[in-house]
Chains A and B, each alone.
Chain A
Amino acid sequence: MSSLLALLPSNTYGDNINNEKLYNKVITELRCMVCQNQNIAESEAPLAVDLRKKVKKMINNGKDEEYIKKYMSDRYSDFILYDPPFRSQNIFLWIGPFIFLLILTFILFRKNIIK
């Protein structure tokens, strides 16, 4: 059984289960800048491999999720985060859908009232 486990992809983390959970969470939430439609957990692009190593190292050094994500977005911009933070530059991304919903509701209601 243990020899079978050794064949699994090297995303496994060793003995600290919390660290492993954090590691797996963070690498699925960081975009592979080279391939863009994959996260760095899925990608085998050299940069993705390097960034996984970097994440692992930072977690081993006791850094938390917030620190790691800031580290990455400071260097690669918010684009590397799959869940971009709320900022003035991307406000439309966050409130756009609600505005659309409001406009559509308004139009549909008007239509019904006129009827």
Chain B
Amino acid sequence: MTKKVSIIIFIIFISMLYVGLSHNSRLVQSPLIDKKLPEFSLPVLQSDISADISVFPDDIFLLNIWASWCVECIREHRVLNLIKEERKIRLIGINYKDSKIDAVGWLKIYGNPYEYNIFDKDGQLGIDLGVYGVPETFLVDKNKVIRAKYIGVINEDIYYNEILPTIDKIKDDY
């Protein structure tokens, strides 16, 4: 009897450890899912126009947070350029805690897949979006409600197998 019970407890304990170890604690579910984008008032990169939430399209779009100091963003940028070429989803950027010169130069080197970039120099919009590691990408619907968040680099796999199907699902709901 005691042997049985201790084996059961042992198995429960091991499976809890297993679940705990296989769970990636870096990926935190954003509490912003299904919430509206936060208000802001920030300049647009490469122009002097001041932007607020009304500049965003009444359409589904990806909002990608990047910076020239972000090494992983270079890896992601190849896929963002592909997303632009495919024209299946609109892409807008938030340039996060960067310098204007660096950011513009970076886009010249690696290509500019964005319709435009919001220039969040102090990272306040980043805080409002719960950003804790660039790159991060939000999928926003036509009502400017956040529908999904992708933390880290978007690769082809995530783009084709997660983002595009999610977009189709959202469009079906309209």
Contacts and interface: CB of A to CB of B under 8 A. Distances in A.
Interface of A: 33-34, 36, 46-47, 50-51, 54, 73-79, 107, 111
A77 B130 CA distance: 8
A74 B133 contact: no
Nearest to A75: B130
Interface residues of B, number: 19
B31 A73 contact: yes
Nearest to A111: B2
B50 interface: no
Given A47-B123, A47-B132, A78-B31, 18 more contacts: A33-B28, A33-B132, A33-B133, A34-B133, A36-B25, A47-B131, A50-B127, A74-B31, A75-B31, A75-B129, A76-B28, A76-B31, A76-B130, A77-B28, A77-B29, A107-B2, A107-B5, A111-B2
* Interface SS majority for chain A: helix
Contacts of B25: 36
Among B2, B122, B129, B130, the one with the most A-chain Cβ atoms within 10 Å of its Cβ is B130
Contacts of B5: 107
Nearest to B123: A50
A106 B118 CA distance: 61
B30 interface: yes
